[in-house]
Amino acid sequence: MTRNDRKMTKNPLLQKYKKFFFPGALLLLILLAIFFQYALKILPFNFALIPLVLGGGYVIWSTMEAVFKLRKITAGIMVVLALIGTTYVGEYLAGAIVAFMMISGEFLEDITLNKTRNAVKALIKLVPEVARKKIDGEYQEVSLRKIRVGDMLLVRPGEGIAVDGVIISGQAAINESSITGESMPVDKTIGDKVYVGTLNENGVLEIEAEKIGNDTTLGKIIKTVRMAQENKGDVQKIADRFAVYFTPLILSICVLVWFLTHDLMRVMTILVIACPCALVLATPTAVVASVGNAAKRGVLIKGGITLEKAAQITTLCVDKTGTLTRGKPKVVDIRGFSAIAEDELLMSAAIVEKNSQHPLAKAILEYAYSKGIMDIPDSKDFKMMFGRGIKVQYDHASLEVSNAKALMDTDIIENREAADYLKEQESQGRTALVVIRDRRVIGGLSIADTLRDDMKSAIQRIKDTGIQRIIMLTGDNEATAKSIADQVGITEFYANLLPEDKLEIIKSLKQAGEKVAMIGDGVNDAPALMLSDVGIAMGAMGTDVAIESSDIALMSDDMMMVSETFALSKRTYGIIKQNIWIFAVLVNVAGVFFSSLGILSPIIGAIIHNVSSIFVVLNSARMLTYTYHQPQGSLSGHRKAA
């Protein structure tokens, strides 16, 4: 975030209201002109010349500046011609009103459009202007511009965090709603990541700065929201091409009307009403409003192209690990054989796994801790058996935790109960292990990657938005894939996939005419996200690869936000089409037609033109507060979405 960014947040009273002065002064002069012209005819000249010169001069100057800057003819040329024409025929008051309507229309459009940019301003305000930096062993308050990567910072309770960094000491509850959209604070301690713009609600933290300024997660969000208006979709590109040919077309109609009627007032009215301002505003206003809406809820959308494509998705591919599931193994079942107590079985397993760094070992130890087993004795002769398990010596006994291959060992006493347990658990897609003491199987443990909360409801909500085909992609075996798919309500899945297999599936779907979205963790799935029509990275907070490789980044792990994002995209696409075809094209065509017949005057034409532009902006501004209401009767509840 630059110095200019911070200036945006400063809004003194004079700065806030000075924009009202010029339109207000013009309106006052026009009212005086009407009074002098119709009520008090004492001036030796037409008073309407004053607002005409002031307003018309501003319109002509700004239009010519745009023409020379863009090096092409703009729609404002028609307004200039209209002003020249009304002046030529002596309709000074009409010319003054045309100029006033153009200026006031742009003024109202600017005010409304600025409201759609409040998301960026609100994000910038989250960044503290100062921070406590460690200098010569003491923490001193310094400007944010003096913070560098590697600096040590102190954050007290109630203060905002000024950088992306890692906690070196302390623990606290951090409110990350500005990034993730989640209102509940997150408990963090030594080694955990923290992010700029989040709030330390309690505790004192020492953090080491890892990213500053535009390189932070919040900086990337601000950059993406700003770029959204420039990132136009195909609908806006059509509108842009239409606007290029619009001016020559209108001028041709003006020549034809003049040739047929010789009525200069009709020609002037056509020029006034036909300016394509509404067409130009149709997409950017809706896109910025929608992107701002999503950003407040922790969803990063990369502009108009993404919104448009997301509205047309027909097939959604979902990665299993880390998306549908938590991506972290967890003990889900434990069973002792031959009257062995579960706590005795769990202690034996924990002793074996104590010195292992394997993810399954960590799952067993975490489960033991959760059951109150905190003091785990050390073992001897730790032996890693590749492809099978771990074996140790403890208290003159041999202890082992292994998979099904252990039962094939002739040294292990045969146990039908163990074989049945392994078969039962593996049929559910779980990783089943047995615990062996002195060649005898004493029990079994089952470990699985557990589903995220409310995942079945989240999948149903996505279907409610109109995306009926959802495909799960996973590298796990068939049994595991089927178990997870059945639990979440997905009927189509592919198992045993390598990363390149996922790419081939997405390619084949696109070749078949499907519009494909892919949801993944944004790191391992980066190629698939980039190949799909819309790539959605889940849990992207602090992950540069996820933000860069995806079209939509969910800062949190909340799968519910996927359906809300699709609903927002569909609604935005509808708003853009309304803006273009109803408020822009239809109003212009009707206005030109009635102006050609002499039914409308230049003043009425100016009013109609600006009213249509204002309606476009107001229609788009509705997306700032758009809320997705779940269809009645849905399985997914009644939670409201962005």
Q: Are residues 99 and 151 in the same domain?
A: no
Rounded mean pLDDT of 232-254? 67
What does DSSP say about strands 380-385 and 431-437: parallel, antiparallel, or unpaired? unpaired
Residue 606 included in any domain = no
111 and 129 in a common domain: no
- Pick the last residue of a domain from 450, 473, 498: 450
Task: Give per-residue pLDDT as tens, 361-412.
Answer: 989 999 999 999 989 999 999 998 877 889 999 988 999 999 988 988 888 8
Q: What is the pLDDT of residue 183?
A: 56
Q: Looking at the structure, do residues 65 and 127 belong to the same domain, yes or no? A: no
Residue 630 lies in a domain: no
The alpha carbon of residue 276 and the mean position of all alpha carbons in its chain are separated, in whole angstroms, by 30
Q: Are 60 and 141 members of one domain?
A: no
- Is 330 a member of any domain? yes
Q: What is the number of residues in the chain?
A: 642
Residue 154's CATH number: 2.70.150.10
Q: What was the pLDDT predicted at 199?
A: 87
Render pLDDT for 143-181 as a digit per residue (tens, 0 to 9). 988 999 999 999 999 888 999 999 999 998 888 766 665
Range of the domain at 365: 326-450
Amino acid (one-letter) located at 181: G
Burial (Cβ within 10 Å: 0-12, 13-18, ≥19) of residue 436: buried
Please tell me whether residues 2 and 110 are part of one structural domain: yes
Whether the predicted pLDDT of 634 surpasses 80: no
Catalytic residue among 319, 521, 525, 551: 319
pTM: 0.69
Question: Looking at residue 348, which CATH number applies to its domain?
Answer: 3.40.1110.10
The number of folded domains in the chain is: 3
Q: Are residues 130 and 212 in the same domain?
A: yes
Final residue before a domain boundary, out of 450, 476, 509: 450
81 lies in the same domain as 187: no
C-alpha torsion sign, points 605, 608, 609, 610: positive
Q: How far apart are CA 278 and CA 587, in angstroms?
A: 9
319 is catalytic: yes
What is the 3 state secondary structure string of 568-599? HHHHHHHHHHHHHHHHHHHHHHHHHHHHHCCC
Q: What is the mean predicted confidence (pLDDT) over 445-469? A: 90
Which pLDDT does position 632 carry in this prediction?
57
330 & 442 share domain: yes
Residue 207 lies in a domain: yes
Decide if 521 is inside a domain. no
Please report the pLDDT score of residue 445 as a whole number: 95
d(CA 373, CA 367): 9
State residue 489's pLDDT score.
Answer: 93
Query: Angle, to 10 degrees, between the axis of helix 234-261 and the axis of helix 76-88?
Result: 20
**Percent of the chain topping pLDDT 70:** 82
Longest dimension (CA), the chain: 120
**Among candidate residues 92, 115, 138, the one where a domain is terminated:** 115
The answer to whether residues 332 and 437 belong to one domain is yes
Residues 444 and 360 in one domain: yes
Assigned token pair, 578: 């309304």
Q: Rounded mean pLDDT of the chain?
A: 82
pLDDT, tens digit, 9 for 90 and up, residues 255-303: 999 999 998 888 888 877 876 667 777 887 888 888 888 887 888 888 7
Give the mean model confidence (pLDDT) for residues 347-354: 94
Note whether residue 291 is domain-resident: no
